[in-house]
Chain A
């Protein structure tokens, strides 16, 4: 089943929670609703599920309008962040529950639940009470309960947020694998960009009730539509630097420059915001810059360990346009010997640079090829 939202809006009195939203999720894919708290993603989810009424617009399941239907008539299954299981019932009975309330004959229940148990690798613990299980196992039971009645859409509402890190990594792989194997049309609501990137085929990034970008995880990462998406996707966020673009593609910052490049030629010259991923900055060991390499000089203001990488927050020598100190984050191999106060030189070439309009924040190269396409 495919899912479409056409001009869907929600307001509470004078407060607009969601502005005219257009979304499309193809059959069998997982759509992510991602954004900071208060962005409207949960409201959007509730409208899809029928828990909240739409103020305007249409919601279509495979082309059929459903926005006027009650939740029960939409055939949506939900998986919640707190599992919402029946603690006193066994794994088997929790999964069987939706079938029992529909009066499904016993042999059919046994067959369907058995298949689900096997699929989710829960067959070894079918008789256990769910309260004895780990959070990850409980969430698998709750997914099983959602799957057993063949819903048209399955909605995951922050499904991993209460799990420990190891179970999070394990379950997000499992959910993705299951979703692909079963061809489930599904929706994931999350504030965690890592989860959305790991699991979704297409992601809607929202902010303040408005859609910022709808695209594949790779599009969002490599070609963010605007500076909001650029800084919301990726950890640490993309660095944004003020620069001047010449008509031939030459790019100049306060104390750095990049030579003309084909990718930048043809754009209107003028002030721009250059977006640079922290991993695109390389520590330069010596004084050389090299051809086509721009260099940012500064001091380490702060260093974070991330195991095999270190995140350096570097205070740049060259101040910003208003005289304020500027910082960039660099993601470098760890553990680095650098300490707070150490002088560093960071080099970058223009190959993975994004350019944004400094006023509107919009990406100036919305049609540029992605990194993988360029490499292929």
Chain B
């Protein structure tokens, strides 16, 4: 793959006594946002640090605009990096923190007014325009996060790395900034890597999503693909609100010969296209069931309600299928009580099957 964006090829980092990271490959085209998502501790931050040069990979290369970066020092890479830990200068004001990258030696000098205007514009968008004179010590966590975001976005960079840029903000602000950052970065025409443990945030902001599990990329695809066709059970467990339910069972011929899924408390015909792909003998499989693919009323499975949580626009039922805990997303107006027995209908269009051993999608 070659383009003028950011390319990670076979990048790897080893740690003594622990599983390392990679080798992994990833590319971000100019103007594209790629989200890197995965559970905490999977190595997302280390990937960002290898791109910006704060950590040296043990193997592989980072290529930006056709040029290998490994020989370049941090400040010569043209990488704007927002740190998850914020890393603000406590002795500088908010405005000075944001202006700081523009005052580095070797950067073209902006006039004082132009500099102040550029800083203020970003602070205003992040709704901290009134806090420019404050020191970081007098800010809340969410406000510090926005200062760090502004200090990154203010730069004229060849690539932007946003490590958890909006995770500590409230929903309204998250929603506003998500769209604003996306439009801005797309218009800038440079590659942006957006790291987040929240897979739903990754789906909303990114052109493509890289799901990282145990130091490796388990799936790198468009958001719809990751949501509707997760590559492995591990990806499936991360994606969705709430995530996909997984039920262990067996693929067996039903009456009439077509394969069906049989597990504890569940016996299900498979839709024609899925059945056609799965010819062959009986085998152990994992059934992936999206929470919205199950609806109360019906006889596809019998569940016992564990908890019922009403939300604004929907409700979540947590229920036991024998000894497997499942979550269903339903319209809010139905009310359910703990220990109530419910039958459910399963929408066959929403099913995904995984091999029980490899945990990969079939």
Chain A residues within 8 Å of B, Cβ to Cβ = 35-38, 135, 161-162, 164-166, 169, 172-173, 176-177, 191-194, 197-198, 217-218, 221, 231-237, 277, 279, 302, 304-308, 311, 313, 331, 335, 371-372, 375
Q: Which of B110-144 contact A (CB under 8 A)?
A: 140-143
B172 within 8 A of A: yes
Question: Can you list 18 residue pairs at the A/B interface with Cβ under 8 Å?
Answer: A37-B141, A37-B143, A135-B40, A162-B40, A165-B198, A169-B242, A173-B306, A176-B309, A191-B142, A191-B169, A197-B310, A235-B175, A277-B312, A279-B313, A304-B179, A304-B203, A307-B239, A372-B332
Q: For the complex formed, measure the closest distance between the CB of A257 and the CB atoms of chain B, giving whole angstroms.
A: 26
Q: Does B173 contact A (CB under 8 A)?
A: yes
CA distance A204 to B200 in the complex (A): 27
Contact A166/B171 with A302-B179, A313-B179 known, Cβ cut-off 8 Å: no
- The answer to whether B307 and A166 touch across the interface, beta carbons within 8 angstroms, is no
CB of A166 within 8 A of CB of B313, answer no
Residues of B contacting A335 in the complex (Cβ-Cβ under 8 angstroms):
224, 227-228
Within 8 A of A (CB), among B154-173: 168-173
B40 and A164 within 8 A (CB): yes
Query: Are A232 and B172 in contact, CB atoms less than 8 angstroms apart?
Result: yes
B290 within 8 A of A: yes
**A305: chain B residues within 8 A (beta carbon):** 203-204, 223-224, 227
Report yes or no: A217 in contact with B310, Cβ–Cβ below 8 A: yes
Would B143 and A38 count as touching, CB distance under 8 A? yes
Q: Enumerate chain B interface residues (CB-CB to A < 8 A).
A: 39-40, 140-143, 168-175, 178-179, 182-183, 197-200, 203-205, 223-224, 227-228, 237-243, 290, 292, 306-307, 309-313, 316, 318, 327, 332-333, 338
Q: Cβ of A161 and Cβ of B168 under 8 Å apart?
A: yes
A165 touches B142 (CB 8 A): no
Other contacts beyond A177-B338, A307-B200: 20, CB < 8 A: A38-B140, A135-B40, A165-B199, A173-B318, A191-B169, A192-B170, A192-B171, A193-B170, A198-B311, A218-B310, A234-B171, A235-B175, A236-B175, A277-B313, A302-B179, A304-B203, A305-B224, A307-B227, A335-B224, A375-B333
A169–B224 CB distance below 8 A: no
Task: Give the residue name and chain of the B residue nearest to A279 (CB).
Answer: B313
Docked-complex contact B197 and A164, CB < 8 angstroms: yes
Q: How distant is the Cα of A207 from the Cα of B223 in the complex, in angstroms?
A: 35
Nearest neighbor of A313 in chain B, beta-carbon distance: B179
Query: Which chain A positions have C-beta within 8 A of B290?
Result: 308
Q: Which of A38, A173, A313 counts the most B-chain CB atoms under 10 A from its CB?
A: A173
Question: CA A351 – CA B298 in complex, angstroms?
Answer: 30
The SS class assigned to the A binding surface is mixed
Q: Which residue of B lies closest to A163 (CB)?
A: B40
Return chain B residues, CB-CB under 8 Å to A331. 313
Contact among B40, B168, B306 for A177, CB-based, below 8 A = B306
| Residues of chain B lying within 8 A (CB to CB) of residue A172 | 309
Taking each of A161, A164, A198, which has the highest tally of chain B beta carbons within 10 Å of its own beta carbon?
A: A164
B172 to A237, Cβ gap below 8 A? Answer: yes
In the complex, the answer to whether A197 meets B312 with C-beta atoms within 8 Å is: yes
User: In this complex, what residue of A is CB-closest to B309?
Assistant: A198
Give the residue of A166, A191, A234 whose beta carbon is less than 8 angstroms from that of B237. A166
Question: How distant is the Cα of A191 from the Cα of B141 in the complex, in angstroms?
Answer: 11
Q: Which B-chain residue is minimally distant from A311 (CB atoms)?
A: B204
- Closest chain A residue to B325 by CB distance? A170
Check A194–B311 contact: CB distance below 8 A.
yes
Would B140 and A307 count as touching, CB distance under 8 A?
no
Q: Assess A304 versus B170: contact at CB under 8 Å? Given A37-B142, A165-B243.
A: no
Question: How far, in Å, is B307 (CB) from chain A's closest CB?
Answer: 5
Contact residues in A for B140 (Cβ distance below 8 Å): 37-38
Q: Tell me the minimal C-beta distance from B35 to chain A in angstroms.
A: 11
Question: Which of these, A36, A135, A164, A237, contacts B175 with CB under 8 Å?
Answer: A237
